[in-house]
Amino acid sequence: MNLELTPVQAVACCSPLSREPLSASEAEGIAPLLKALADPVRLRLMSLVASHEGGEACVCDLNGAFDLSQPTISHHLKVLHAAGLLEREKRGVWVYYRARTDALANLAALIGGHSK
Amino acid sequence: MNLELTPVQAVACCSPLSREPLSASEAEGIAPLLKALADPVRLRLMSLVASHEGGEACVCDLNGAFDLSQPTISHHLKVLHAAGLLEREKRGVWVYYRARTDALANLAALIGGHSK
DNA sequence: CGTAAATATTTACACTCATCTATGTCTTAA
DNA sequence: TTAAGACATAGATGAGTGTAAATATTTACG
């Protein structure tokens, strides 16, 4: 049983980096989100999904964009989903992923924000 | 001899994630920046420096905030500096670090931005 | 049912990374 | 010159990670 908050829920907690020091626990909550994004393949996956028409894409749209095996892409999608950056929805044989733009916006505000 | 661009120079290249797919080379340029931030200790270091009065802090201000050895903090500062997120300046015995807020702003725009 | 297609899981491995201890370098002061 | 303090580097180690191959699961359709 796992009742922890997903990383995406932890990012809305804090004021921007430049405003006040992050506590240790806040930093430990946010780092996994950045870690999930900090990979070239996952960055491209996020941008492919986020910029895809309708704001979603199925795995079949994504596999072809990489020189990687299908299980590897599936693994990266799982990491992004576990971090809360992608939503998953199964429709028939296909699985559609959708970007959590709210999570991306919160993360961006944390990194680059100035005001409270 | 190392003539490569620092990661911080690579982040100003691209439109936001949600706007159009990132190319492989763009993603490979940006991922190291996120990787540098994707650690709880380095996140706290960045926020400690960025929110410190005058926008800078010396290592002596930072060491005490962690239960880590001085070489470990020095290592993390080096990683952030290599990524282009921190500037280094030696003044007398002390070394002062300053946050590259422009780099943070560019990164934030890439992650959370909407317009071109 | 049986088969094919789309996606996920498992296992294994090479590689990277965060951390420590020990040591080095540089600066200031006595 | 010697000593002490601030910070960096080097080397070692245990934990974590990206990838592929093989296999499993789920769904659709004869």
pLDDT of residue A4: 47
Task: Quote the tokens at residue B96.
Answer: 């002062």
Q: Is residue A61 part of a domain?
A: yes
Q: Number of folded domains in chain A? A: 1
pLDDT over 90 at A77, yes or no: yes
CB contact under 8 A, B38 and A20: no
The 10s digit of each residue's pLDDT in B59-116 is 999 999 999 999 999 999 999 999 999 999 999 999 999 999 999 999 999 999 775 5
Q: Percentage of residues in chain A with pLDDT exceeding 70? A: 90
CA B66 to chain centre: 19
pLDDT of residue B3: 38
Point out the least confidently predicted range of A39-43, B11-15, B37-41: B11-15
Query: Rounded CA gap, B105 and A109, in Å?
Result: 9
The 10s digit of each residue's pLDDT in B20-47 is 999 999 999 999 999 999 999 999 999 9
Q: Is residue A75 part of a domain?
A: yes
pLDDT of residue B14: 81
For CA atoms A94, A40, A18, B47, the dihedral sign is positive
Q: Which nucleotides of C are covered by protein (CB under 7 A)?
A: 5-10, 17-23, 26-28
Classify burial at A3, counting beta carbons within 10 Å of its beta carbon; exposed 0-12, middle 13-18, buried 19 or more.
exposed
Query: Rounded CA gap, B66 and B104, in Å?
Result: 23
Please tell me whether any atom of strand D lies within 7 Å of the Cβ of B40: no
Interior angle at CA B19, CA B15 and CA B23, nearest 5: 60
User: B86 with B50: CB under 8 angstroms?
Assistant: no
Q: Is residue B92 part of a domain?
A: yes
pLDDT of residue A88: 97
Whole-number average pLDDT of chain A:
90
* Minimum Cα–Cα distance from B51: chain A residue: A18
pLDDT of residue A2: 36
Please tell me whether any atom of strand D lies within 7 Å of the Cβ of A93: yes
Q: Is residue A36 part of a domain?
A: yes
The enclosing domain of B48 has a CATH number of 1.10.10.10
Query: Rounded CA gap, A21 and A71, in Å?
Result: 40
Q: Is residue A71 part of a domain?
A: yes
User: A63 with A73: CB under 8 angstroms?
Assistant: yes
Q: Structural domain of residue A89, as residue ranges? A: 21-107
pLDDT of residue A6: 53
Q: Is residue A92 part of a domain?
A: yes
CB contact under 8 A, B27 and A18: no
Q: Is residue A6 part of a domain?
A: no
pLDDT over 50 at B2, yes or no: no
pLDDT of residue A113: 78
